[in-house]
Structure 1
Amino acid sequence: MNDQIPVRPELCRRACNELGLSVPKIDHNKLLIFCKQLLAGGGIPQPDADLVAELLVKAELRGYAGHGVTRVLQYLAFIENKIYDLSAMPQVEREGKVTAVIDAKHYIGQIAAHMAMTLAIKKAKEHGVGIVTLRRAGHTGRLADYMEMATEQGLIGMGAVSVGSATTTLYGGMKPITGTNPMAFGIPTRNGAPIILDFATASMSMGEIQKRVAKKDPIPDGVILDGDGNPTNDFKAFRGPPRGVFLPFGGYKGSGLALVTEILGGLLSGNGPGKNWWDKGGHGVNGVFLQAFAVEEFQALNSFYDKVDELIAFIKSTKCAPGFSEILLPGESGRRREATQRKNGVEIDEDTWSELTELAAELRVKEVPAAL
């Protein structure tokens, strides 16, 4: 995860819709090939470029544009500016029967995190549980991706990230202490549609705030403070100077979770407090905690699936509140968006698509997908 570049999901899409303009829709297979070519053209080894592209396009398909193909531009800029080091590969520096510590050495975060969860899964299959921490990693993307790696193997996954920045205060504070630090959980199900919960511990993302500013909608109470520590709904007061901070979601509860993610992802991994990295250069260096464990250590997997199926059936049969047609499970809406966009094409905002096509020209990538 990473705080330093505000994400822009839906901003240009909304502007196009309001003006009656079309939003570019790209075939997802062609978009994937295109992103692989761009990343490889920017210097990333092809196997790693392929994996990163798959995760970025998956995020786009699921509707999480802030973790989607716009990150191609960011990652290649990080390579050009020596923030990412492609000369050194992530390495296991300490290992026990069920634990390991990986030093990513400032390599691409998704590659390092994929390596970490792969190792955690291996240990969980052999010993019932695997816990791997990761330090000095680039932007690791959506924690949900690594939770799904575990659930695909019938394992339960857990994760936390210290994003290596200082943009969020804790309950009762007014100065930046942590980043937007996410945590995640993955629960396998019999039908292959896992329950995936992935959320930031800050009250609202920068992308959501920017969407509200673009629509001239007010920022809700309890989301941000100005640079003097006063509650504000004014984005300009938040931006400063002096710079304001995000509040954690849920008051002291979210604050506690933010602190736990900072300790597990940052301190336990050896990455250190996010503020230390933020003060050095203003770009996030991720510290990550990943865990996978086997249901069979507690009961037979099919018995567990029976219980989960029963709970889901009960949830789906429950009467909804006015204005709601159903209760969605964590991860369900994203999978539905993915199915729609696989069929109809992936919507990409105008600015991002323009920048990607310009990058393609610079890198001499000739096969730019045409909009549907």
Structure 2
Amino acid sequence: MRAQIEAILQSWGMAPELLQTTVEAMIETDLLGVDSHGISMLMTYEKRVRDGSLKLTVAPRVEKQTACTALVDGGAGLGHPVSAFAMNLAVDKAKEAGVGIVGVHNSHHFGAAGVYARIAARRGAIGMVTSATRGVTMVPTRGAAPVLGTNPLAFAAPAKRNNAFVLDMATTTTAAGKVKVYDLNDRQLPSGWVLDAKGQPVTDPKQGFDIVFNKPEGGLSPLGGTAEMASAKGYGLAMMVHILGGTLVGSSFSPIRNRSQKPGDPDDIGHFFMAIDPAAFRSPGEFENDLDDVIDVMHATPATDPSKPVLVAGEPEEAERQRRLRDGIPVPDSLDKLIRGICERSNAPYLLA
């Protein structure tokens, strides 16, 4: 899988210094079981390469910075290399100043937000990541047409004895990419993920895919589903994420951009990265020890089903990572066919056989 992604990115002309970071972020996404944001994104990236909007040779550039903040230009490239750069820069600043905040603009899709939050946790910092999106897929409370994207939010905190706490979520009931995955696997959608133009749930995967990716009406429900009060909170959370990952860093708001975007214009997606050094607040090791105690209490909570113990955010993905390292990453036939097509069009070798 790693070799296949690398071969395709090389065939598109990606700069060597950007390629490996991108490959590792994408493969880590698939290892974690986030099938919607890894190799299956290559079809979308191919479209951007072909229309000229995606630049694959420009390195991230710091435009301005202070002791604890920075603004980075993504160079209209894929979001993976600039996001890894920005999160590491935020941690560097946090180690010096206690907190580091790095904004990115002029970027494209960056995969799974949790991959970058985990960078901070591995380096002993608390990390938070948000991002604006290109797609307009979320139907607001009381609305019939989409106006926001899935606007992801990720948060990670390091422990000692336990795995890091890692929350990685869309602000819609599900990520748009998961609808794509259900379509690729021809699986019925859970009721409430996708709504039609009348606000009614859609469960047919092909109809759901068409609504989310091709039609101007209907879309994904906000986090909280269709109940109005819960939906309003999910919609508000999505707005908060866009304010940090879009408005603050000077990147575009999709409904506004889509009115004037010309073929070949970059997506201009924005990202937001924050790192906090626990040592700025606690003596070394105290934070991690206390977080271990918190996680232990969660694990000790009586389970409704003894065969399914209580889990903490990040543990299902880590368990899936270990399974896939052992058994491999599943690729449905429909996705395999699409990857073969990309290889044929780009003259990259097909390596998944």
SS at match of 1:307: helix
Give the Cα–Cα distance (whole angstroms) in 1 for the partners of residues 96 and 178 of structure 2.
42
Specify the code of the residue in structure 2 equivalent to 1:52. Answer: T
Of 104, 108, 117, the residue aligned with 1:147 is: 117
Of 256, 276, 281, the residue aligned with 1:276 is: 256
SS at match of 1:301: coil
What are the within-5 Å matches in structure 2 for residues 224-263 of structure 1? Answer: 224-227=194-197, 229-233=198-202, 236=207, 239=211, 243-250=217-224, 251-263=231-243
Match of 2:159 in 1: 189
Q: Which moved more, 1:296-305 or 1:162-171?
A: 162-171
Match of 1:334 in 2: 317
Percent identity over the alignment is 24
**Residues 296 and 273 of structure 1: CA distance in aligned 2, closer, same or farther (over 3 Å):** same
Match of 1:200 in 2: 170
Tell me the alpha carbon deviations over residues 141-185 of structure 1, each in whole angstroms, 9 at most, x when there is no partner.
111111011001110001111113322133233332211101110
Aligned residues of 1:151 and 1:188 also touching (Cα < 8 A): yes
Q: Which moved more, 1:267-276 or 1:359-368?
A: 359-368
Of 247, 250, 255, the residue aligned with 1:267 is: 247
Q: How far 1:87 sits from its partner (Å)?
A: 4.9
Of 171, 191, 195, the residue aligned with 1:220 is: 191
Aligned residues of 2:173 and 2:221 also touching (Cα < 8 A): yes
User: Relative CO higher for 1 or 2, CA cutoff 8 Å, sep ≥ 6?
Assistant: 1
Aligned residues of 2:132 and 2:241 also touching (Cα < 8 A): yes
The TM-score with structure 1 as length reference comes to 0.82
**Residues 177 and 319 of structure 1: CA distance in aligned 2, closer, same or farther (over 3 Å):** same
Q: How far 1:357 sits from its partner (Å)?
A: 3.4
Aligned residues of 1:188 and 1:194 also touching (Cα < 8 A): yes
- After superposition, the CA RMSD in angstroms is 2.7
SS at match of 1:92: strand
Match of 2:90 in 1: 120
**Residues 104 and 212 of structure 1: CA distance in aligned 2, closer, same or farther (over 3 Å):** closer
Q: How far 1:212 sits from its partner (Å)?
A: 8.1
Aligned residues of 2:13 and 2:57 also touching (Cα < 8 A): no
Q: How far 1:345 sits from its partner (Å)?
A: 1.8
Q: How far 1:57 sits from its partner (Å)?
A: 1.4
Give the Cα–Cα distance (whole angstroms) in 2 for the partners of residues 147 and 80 of structure 1.
31
Give the Cα–Cα distance (whole angstroms) in 2 for the partners of residues 66 and 241 of structure 1.
20
Aligned residues of 1:164 and 1:277 also touching (Cα < 8 A): no
Q: How far 1:323 sits from its partner (Å)?
A: 7.4
Tell me the alpha carbon deviations over residues 75-118 of structure 1, each in whole angstroms, 9 at most, x when there is no partner.
23322221112354332212111111112131111111112112
Q: How far 1:290 sits from its partner (Å)?
A: 0.7
Give the Cα–Cα distance (whole angstroms) in 2 for the partners of residues 365 and 294 of structure 1.
43
Match of 1:91 in 2: 61
Specify the code of the residue in structure 2 equivalent to 1:276. Answer: I
What are the within-5 Å matches in structure 2 for residues 1-372 of structure 1? Answer: 31-191=1-161, 193-209=163-179, 211=182, 217=188, 219-221=190-192, 223-227=193-197, 229-233=198-202, 236=207, 239=211, 243-250=217-224, 251-279=231-259, 280=261, 284-322=267-305, 325-366=308-349, 368-370=351-353
SS at match of 1:39: helix
Aligned residues of 2:4 and 2:350 also touching (Cα < 8 A): yes
Aligned residues of 1:262 and 1:274 also touching (Cα < 8 A): no
**Residues 124 and 218 of structure 1: CA distance in aligned 2, closer, same or farther (over 3 Å):** closer
Structure 2 residue runs of 5 or longer lacking an equivalent are 225-230
**Residues 45 and 169 of structure 1: CA distance in aligned 2, closer, same or farther (over 3 Å):** same
SS at match of 2:109: coil
Tell me the alpha carbon deviations over residues 249-277 of structure 1, each in whole angstroms, 9 at most, x when there is no partner.
12122111111011111100100322223
SS at match of 1:346: coil
Specify the code of the residue in structure 1 equivalent to 2:255. Answer: K
Give the Cα–Cα distance (whole angstroms) in 1 for the partners of residues 332 and 177 of structure 2.
14
Give the Cα–Cα distance (whole angstroms) in 2 for the partners of residues 288 and 217 of structure 1.
32
SS at match of 2:172: coil
**Residues 207 and 359 of structure 1: CA distance in aligned 2, closer, same or farther (over 3 Å):** closer
Specify the code of the residue in structure 1 equivalent to 2:273. Answer: L
Length, aligned pairs only? 338
Tell me the alpha carbon deviations over residues 210-255 of structure 1, each in whole angstroms, 9 at most, x when there is no partner.
638976746524x44433x544446659839662132211212211
Give the Cα–Cα distance (whole angstroms) in 2 for the partners of residues 107 and 46 of structure 1.
13
Aligned residues of 1:136 and 1:271 also touching (Cα < 8 A): yes
Q: How far 1:127 sits from its partner (Å)?
A: 0.7
Tell me the alpha carbon deviations over residues 311-367 of structure 1, each in whole angstroms, 9 at most, x when there is no partner.
111111111114761111111111111111111222112122233334435544447
Give the Cα–Cα distance (whole angstroms) in 1 for the partners of residues 297 and 352 of structure 2.
44
Give the Cα–Cα distance (whole angstroms) in 1 for the partners of residues 100 and 314 of structure 2.
23
Q: Which moved more, 1:76-85 or 1:326-335?
A: 76-85
Give the Cα–Cα distance (whole angstroms) in 2 for the partners of residues 38 and 277 of structure 1.
29
Aligned residues of 1:357 and 1:368 also touching (Cα < 8 A): no
Give the Cα–Cα distance (whole angstroms) in 2 for the partners of residues 41 and 49 of structure 1.
11
Q: How far 1:66 sits from its partner (Å)?
A: 1.1
